[in-house]
């Protein structure tokens, strides 16, 4: 038997990637993260470069706070390195895997 709440969305077979750039607005990205978590239960946030990673981290923190305050939704974030195709080359990026772990769904 699972500890997961029954109102939690099922994990998607393919996680939605959300790319964050150095000029991304953290509040806008946080809204996208929160909405995707509510709908799909998970999202991968990708960033290439120090400033983009900074914007991604701020966005995730804002989303975590929002989800917790507006429904007690708790998430876990796991960072990792990934390779992304950019044009004809591959670049190393940071991937923040954000997953819903507990809490009530608020519609």
pTM above 0.95?
Answer: no
Residues with Cβ within 8 Å of 104's Cβ and at least 6 positions away in sequence, in order, are 5, 7, 71, 72, 73
| Domains with residue ranges and CATH for the chain | 17-102 (3.30.110.20)
Contact 16, 38 (CB under 8 A): no
- The predicted pLDDT at position 105 comes to 53
pLDDT by position in tens, the chain (length 107): 344 444 555 444 568 899 999 999 999 999 999 999 999 999 999 999 999 999 999 999 999 999 999 889 999 999 999 999 999 999 999 999 999 998 765 44
Left, alpha or beta for 2 (phi > 0: left; psi -120 to 50: alpha)? Answer: beta
């Amino acid at each position: 038997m699972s500890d997961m709440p029954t109102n939690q969305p099922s994990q998607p077979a393919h996680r939605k990637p959300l790319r964050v750039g150095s000029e991304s607005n953290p509040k806008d990205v946080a809204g996208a993260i929160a909405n995707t978590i509510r709908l799909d239960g998970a999202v991968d946030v990708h960033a290439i470069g120090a400033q983009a990673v900074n914007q991604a981290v701020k966005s995730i923190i804002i989303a975590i706070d929002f989800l917790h305050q507006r429904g007690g939704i708790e998430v876990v974030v796991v960072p990792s390195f990934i390779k992304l195709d950019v044009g004809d080359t591959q670049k190393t990026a940071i991937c923040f895997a954000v997953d819903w772990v507990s809490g009530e769904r608020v519609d």
